[in-house]
A and B are shown apart, each in its own frame.
Chain A
Amino acid sequence: MIKIEKRLDKIKIYVIKKKVFDEEIVSFLNELSKIIVKSKESRKNNELMAFGFWCRNTNLQKLKQRYSQKFLKNKMGIGLLFHIPPSNVISNFAYSLLFGLLSGNTNVVRIPKRSLEFANVLISFINKKINRKSNISKMINFINYKDEKTNTDLSKISDGRLIWGSDETIKKFKNLKTKKNCKNIYFSDKYSMSILNSSEIIKLKDSSLTVLCKNFYNDSYLMDQNACSSPHIIFWKGKKIPLGQKIFWNKVYKIAKKNYKLDMFAAVDKYANTLRISSNKKIKINNYENILIRIQLNKLSENLDKFRGRWGLFYEYIINNNLNLPYSKKYQTLSYYGFNKNELKNLKDRSKNFSFNRVVPVGKSTEMNLFWDGNNLVSILSK
């Protein structure tokens, strides 16, 4: 039985290495996917459902296709991986584990407190589908602890570590002793944005507009805008921008009003931030009952990545010509709507400091990928 241990000495670590995209692992994940997708738990939990879909054979095969035959034939896991997920993206630990398994490694995953409930549901499914005699069960270990010693001990014995932010956590783990050739992957704090084409938005039927705005809601509100990939600033391009803005935001507001649980602390914080920002310059603010707050910027300040919204506060900027961003190495995701491939390519070619790791359609911001923050995870975690 796999369970979440409280102490490292309770875990017997057998380091098993398998080939990348090992067939037994892929088929186990596919079985896991089936049981999750059909479960009543996943119907209530979007994140669990999304995880279930991610493990489907079709998705895994698609991911596999990005690697060469030679790579798939020759590469194996590097050994023992230590996963340090962020405390707050509840399902992140599960994807981190997937990356470890697909690259053929044995995993010790630290479960953050807020992920415990999700982890227990997931583990109950894993236990139903895993063959206890199979090596795979030895490749999956979960642990939940508070002491720093466990961090130190695990760092010492690991062949690779996946450290998912924040910058402070990364700093802490960089100081711990590791094996000489330990592969460290650090995911530092990021800043993400969206770009919308009003010419397309004003043409949308109500049902399509609802889909777009729900997708935008999922990218932003669902994680209180705190995920690395959640947009903070929205760029507008195209014709009749004020009209496009009006149509788009009215719909987002309606969806958020119905679905978003704004708590009082968030409400006060959001309002205080809005006032603070507006205390030293003239700006245009649209406040929709405190559920949605839009702040229009007239120019992009040098420290753009400081302009962070939370709990439904968005900055906006109208692009007249090209997207000229102030330099920052923090840009991660640009989510878009209403642009075709050519237009995106043009946008990229003509823009200053266009340095996003991901350019994805609105709605796909939080979708996890084997290439994250510019890291080819399977390749780094195998040899």
Chain B
Amino acid sequence: MKNFNPESNFFNLKKSSKQKKFLKNVIKLNNHHFRNCKEYKRMIVNNYPNFNNIDKLKDMPMIPVKLFKLINLKSIKEKDIYKIIYSSGTSSDGLSKIYLDKNNAKIQIQVLNNLFSEMITSNRYPMLIIDKNIKNNFGNFNAQKAAITGFSIFGKKKFFLLKDDNKINYDELRNFKNYVGKDKYFIFGFTDKVYEYLIKKLDSKYLNKNAIIIHGGGWKKLEKFKISNEKFKELIFKKFKISRIHNYYGMIEQTGSIFFECKNGFFHTSVFSEIFIRDQYFNDLKFNKKGLIQLISLVPVSYPGHNILTEDIGEIFGEDTCKCGLKGKYFKVYGRLQKSEIRGCGNIND
């Protein structure tokens, strides 16, 4: 199964020229997973009796991310499993399992690479990673490790800020400072870690202002600090005078086709991705209404995660009309869906 290669830039394809191609590829993926994942096939046969006649993207079957925790979903043979990525959450529902074959892992890197080059830079600089060295950590290959591994390919040389006990490694930091001097460099980390270590703990003397910060995920933990994206940028600028800060939005179910914030603070879909916002009846809310985020990606081939219903709340503001000049739908993410209060017998734990 091959993904389509765009002839043009990732963010320059207007709706009119993207739609048809994208749809064609999603249909291909639908059929691919239908043929190769028997659980997916059963679900489709049982829940979407007119599957073969669905011709609109918004009507095609979506899989709630929760399902990757409940059942094993893969469209490859056991012997072709290259890597299983587990969600890093500690949720009581269990962990999500994402099955990758070599081909899919390669596509993920390619797509991430292309998106990064186009949205951030195609240059490679030294990278300070606001985390522990993943090589020292055994255990499951989880979403966090996957993200660090994925982004670290953009670093010419990698420096890990933290020791294995989560304390700042000042020796490494001084090495880094000497190595970089006054040149450009990357800082990569999860939003909560960047907040905790860069904004809260680190002395400003260690970092020059020529950094490009890329951060994402981990905002679930950040919610408790009540810091908006704007405030986050402001705090970093005040302390380090660093102004190039890029938030990204992504999830392990669709690694690769992530979303970078544009200069106006919106995430953009690319030729590899599509978004819909749904209400509780799964109606398409179109633009300017808050609802559940559904994401479609052309990247997942070895598991049926190409059309997923997330548990995040977001809002789309338009398509192809963002003032930043990039095409695609542009949107914001507001946070995680709140668990509803359960009425009924049982459970006295309150």
Contact = CB atoms under 8 A, between A and B. Distances in A.
Given A268-B311, A268-B337, A271-B64, A223 B343 contact: yes
A35 to B, nearest CB: 26
Nearest to A84: B348
Nearest to B338: A265
A189 interface: yes
A219 to B, nearest CB: 12
Nearest to A281: B42
Interface stretch (B65-73, B80-88, B211-219): B65-73
A379 interface: no
A169 interface: yes
Nearest to A228: B345
Interface string B282-306: 1000000001100000000000000
Given A112-B350, A269-B66, A90 B282 contact: no
Contact of B280 (A84, A263, A278, A280): A263
Given A268-B309, A275-B43, A88 B342 contact: yes
A88 B71 contact: no
Interface string B5-45: 00000000000000000000000000000000001101101
B346 interface: yes
Contacts of B40: 279
Given A224-B342, A265-B339, A276-B70, A87 B42 contact: no
Contacts, number: 134
A284 B311 CA distance: 27
A273 to B, nearest CB: 8
Contacts of A132: none
Say what secondary structure dominates the interface of chain B. loop
A1 interface: no
Given A88-B342, A223-B344, A226-B343, A267 B349 contact: no
A89 B350 contact: no
B171 interface: no
A338 interface: no
Interface stretch (A196-204, A285-293, A299-307): A285-293
B43 A268 contact: no
B350 A278 contact: no
Contacts of A265: 337-340
Nearest 7 CB-CB pairings of A with B: A226-B344, A166-B346, A278-B46, A267-B280, A272-B64, A279-B39, A265-B340
Given A226-B344, A268-B337, 15 more contacts: A86-B347, A87-B349, A89-B345, A112-B350, A169-B348, A187-B345, A226-B345, A226-B346, A263-B340, A264-B280, A268-B66, A268-B309, A268-B311, A271-B64, A276-B67
